Chains A and B, each alone.
Chain A
Amino acid sequence: MTERPAAEREPGSYRDPSGFVFRRDGVLYRQINASFADDWAAFESSGLHQALVREGLLIADAPASLELAPEPGAVAVIQPDEIGFVSHPFEWSFSQLKDAALLTLRAQSLAAEHGMTLRDASAYNVQFSDGKAILIDTLSFERAAGDQPWKPYRQFCENFLAPLALMAHRDGRLGQLLRTWIDGVPLDLASELLPRSTRYFAPGLAAHIHLHARAQRQHAGSSGPDGAPSGTSRAVTMSEGRRLALLDHLRRTVEGLHLPAHGTVWADYADQTSYSKAGTASKESIVKHMLKAIASDGGRRAWDVGANTGRYSRIAADAGFWVLALDIDWAAVERHYLTLRSSGETRVTPLLADIAEPSPAIGWENTERASLIDRANADVVIALALVHHLAIGRNVPLPMISRLMARLSPNLIVEWIPKDDPMVQRLLAAREDIFADYSPEAFLAAFHTDFEILEEAPIEDSGRVLFRMRRHQ
């Protein structure tokens, strides 16, 4: 064997025979196989590769030594830029998924201008980096054959259009269907769940979801050896003009989808906390001070857990952190994303996640898409106004909350909210108080097990206290 560090293939990179992603010594690479050599050459020579990267549609990459290829048959190895955090489509809000869909269509249109086409349209090919959606699969493009239909049409409808339509026309929480269906929402299910009115009064959805589902049912079974769908005498062909018209129609359909304008309990939450002005100012300045201490220790990535619409995520970003802002409520994440997008803030990535029931590992062998906890990469977790929701709202014992925080990150900024606080009282309003252990003493005892407490700062004008802690070595 050689002295090179062993290569480890990324578990999610197995479907496409034209290449795969691997790590060597922690560095991410992509091998391109001989079977894809002609398309790869065309991707380069057509200028599409450079154009996509220049427009910020595709992750940048650098050529790497062919010797790094872990498997025989490589024609090239590239080193793509790393994404700060790999998220899954069911962790995105409506507008994040919509932006990912429009990015995919824009990339297809640019590809068409260069005589190329997308060969897949999985939502997993999109990630959020520097505040915007970007394609990460450099091998998604092939030469366009003049009269072929758009191959990823079905995948696009299942991965993007169906969940977006369900969120817009039924309920914003239905993006969670992507958690069960890793390859996209089955169109017959989407057709079943969408309101009847979308069959008649939403032409885009009538065509691309309802009729599409019906056609799938009719042609279920086989396609002939010549590639002709059963029931037809010849293979489907489509002129370039019609392909453009189809993609234009898909784009219009996606652009026409909007969430109904109503908030949820959470999205309005930031506006109605129990803090006085002095209390808010005090909390902000303490958090800022604690973050600076962690930043000066070399901390760079922060997870703001229970971020709501991101007030403290922005403070963390200003303190020099790259921030992942997690929240359980889709409307809060949506609002946060829209605020960031319009303000041009690129250092914060909002995601939908329930820390009490984190995203599981899904897909092949339960390794294809990693769980939220396996993706933990924070230098600090910011847990403001969170502990009472877990301890009282979800019945999680304090020592278990401490243990989770210690698994997520070596540093912790956590807020203690006493039982007589109005927000805790609100949680207890309609239920029996079975939380005799919810006390400052029990809180400190629990967190002492996993953390060293470095700072303790009471928030003015309230009974709340902020702590900065460091995980025991």
Chain B
Amino acid sequence: MHLVFAYIDPGAGSLVIQAIIAGLVSIPFFFRNAIRSTIGRFRHKPTDGASAATGRSAPDEKGAASTDSE
């Protein structure tokens, strides 16, 4: 069992509702991330030569990865 130590008042109702909301939004969140990482894996497939030629796929993946981590 945990005490919530905070110098600000996190609010009893705010703690409860955020757990409920987090539970709900985590479903699409993980689903989205799963799709993204799958797409990411497919994008990795072309050879280095191909991605260098388009010059696009590498930065795109970087962008997707950094969005994931946010």
| Residues of A in contact with B (beta carbons under 8 Å apart) | 15-18, 105-106, 109, 113, 119-120, 145, 147-155, 157, 207-208, 211-212, 214-223, 226-232, 234-238, 241-249, 251
**Residues of chain B with a CB closer than 8 A to A215's CB:** 13-14, 16-17
State the Cβ distance, B17 to closest chain A Cβ, in Å: 4
A246 contacts B6, C-beta separation under 8 Å: no
Q: Is B56 an interface residue (CB 8 A)?
A: no
Is B26 in the interface zone, CB < 8 Å from A? yes
B12 to A223, Cβ gap below 8 A?
yes
B16 and A229 contact, CB distance less than 8 A: yes
- Distance, CA A226 to CA B4, complexed state (A): 9
Contact in complex: A152, B8 (CB < 8 Å): yes
Q: Which residues of B contact A113 (CB under 8 A)?
A: 69
**Given A120-B7, A151-B6, A211-B21, do A236 and B26 touch, yes or no (CB 8 Å)?**
no
Q: How far is the CA of A18 from the CA of B22 in the complex (A)?
A: 29
Q: Is the CB of A229 within 8 A of B13?
A: yes
Chain B residues near A (Cβ < 8 Å): 1-4, 6-26, 29-30, 69-70
Are the C-beta atoms of A242 and B4 separated by less than 8 Å? no
Beyond A227-B3, A232-B16, A245-B25, is A152–B10 a contact (Cβ under 8 Å)? yes
Q: Which of A106, A212, A226 contacts B1 (CB 8 A)?
A: A226
Which listed residue, A15, A109, A208, A234, touches B21 by the CB 8 Å rule?
A208
11 A-B pairs whose Cβ atoms sit less than 8 Å apart in the complex = A15-B7, A151-B10, A153-B14, A153-B18, A207-B21, A220-B12, A227-B4, A232-B16, A236-B15, A248-B29, A249-B22
Residues of B within 8 A of A152 (CB): 8, 10
Contact (Cβ within 8 A) A229 B12: yes
Q: Are B18 and A106 in contact (CB under 8 A)?
A: no
- 3 nearest A-B residue pairs (beta carbon): A229-B12, A219-B13, A154-B14
Residue of A nearest to B26 (CB): A245
Q: Once the chains are docked, how many angstroms separate the CA of A51 from the CA of B26? A: 27
Chain A, Cβ-Cβ closest to B10: A151
Per the bound structure, the CA–CA distance linking A229 and B20 in Å amounts to 14
Given contacts A106-B70, A149-B15, A151-B8, contact A249 B1 (CB under 8 A): no
In the bound complex, do residue B10 and residue A218 qualify as a contact, i.e. CB atoms below 8 Å apart? Answer: no
Closest Cβ of chain B to A44, distance in Å, is 20
A235 partner, pick from B3, B18, B29, beta carbons under 8 A: B3
Contacts of B69 in A (CB 8 A): 109, 113
Complex Cα–Cα for A238 and B10 (A): 14
Smallest beta-carbon distance B42→chain A, Å: 23
User: Once the chains bind, are A236 and B19 in contact (CB under 8 Å)?
Assistant: yes
- Distance of B9 from chain A, by nearest CB (Å): 8
Known A-B contacts A148-B4, A149-B4; A246 and B21 likewise in contact (beta carbons under 8 Å): yes
Q: Please, how many angstroms separate the alpha-carbon atoms of A241 and B28 in the complex? A: 12
Closest to B21 in A: A207
CB-CB under 8 A from A212, the residues of chain B are 13-14, 17-18, 21
Inter-chain CA distance A149–B2, complex, in Å, is 11
Are B3 and A242 interface neighbours, CB within 8 A? no
Give, as a whole number of angstroms, the nearest-CB distance from A144 to chain B. 12
Contact present for A149 and B25 (CB under 8 Å) = no
Q: How far is B16's CA from A163's CA once the two chains are assembled, in angstroms?
A: 22
| Residue in A105, A207, A230, A235 whose beta carbon sits within 8 Å of that of B4 in the complex | A235
Q: What A residues does B12 contact at CB under 8 A? A: 219-223, 229-230
